[in-house]
């Protein structure tokens, strides 16, 4: 797929397409594992909070979230595990 100024875009629906969306979005995105450890943090975290994504990969979200937000995130992850076909977005304030 090509846009007007000649830039080649990944094919819609491809992994590269979705990665391009996440990596260029203004809002930060993160992937956490079942232990609440960050496995991916999008580049927009730098603009928002001044942190480089690499500084957070492998760290627990407990270091990032306000204490009251950790329980919200834990419940959200538990709910996702029990009903993966019906995911919900969970927002939680950071420190």
Residue 63 three-state SS = helix
pLDDT, position 90: 67
Mean pLDDT of 8-31: 86
- Dmax over CA atoms of the chain, in Å, equals 48
- Is 2 a residue whose pLDDT tops 60? no
Question: What tens digit of pLDDT does each residue of 41-77 get?
Answer: 999 999 888 989 999 999 998 888 888 888 887 787 7
pLDDT, position 6: 62
Which two three-digit tokens encode residue 89?
């977005």
- Is 9 a residue whose pLDDT tops 70? yes
Alpha carbon separation from 36 to 31, 59, 67, 71 (Å, rounded): 9, 8, 14, 11
């Amino acid at each position: 797929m090509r846009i007007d100024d000649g830039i080649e875009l990944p094919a819609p629906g491809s992994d590269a397409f979705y990665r391009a969306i996440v990596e260029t979005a203004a809002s930060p995105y993160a992937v956490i594992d079942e232990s609440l450890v960050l496995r991916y943090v999008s580049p927009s975290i730098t603009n928002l909070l001044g942190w480089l994504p690499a500084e957070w990969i492998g760290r627990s979200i407990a270091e990032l979230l306000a204490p009251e937000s950790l329980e919200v995130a834990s419940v959200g992850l538990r709910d996702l595990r029990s009903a993966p076909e019906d995911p919900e977005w969970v927002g939680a304030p950071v420190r």
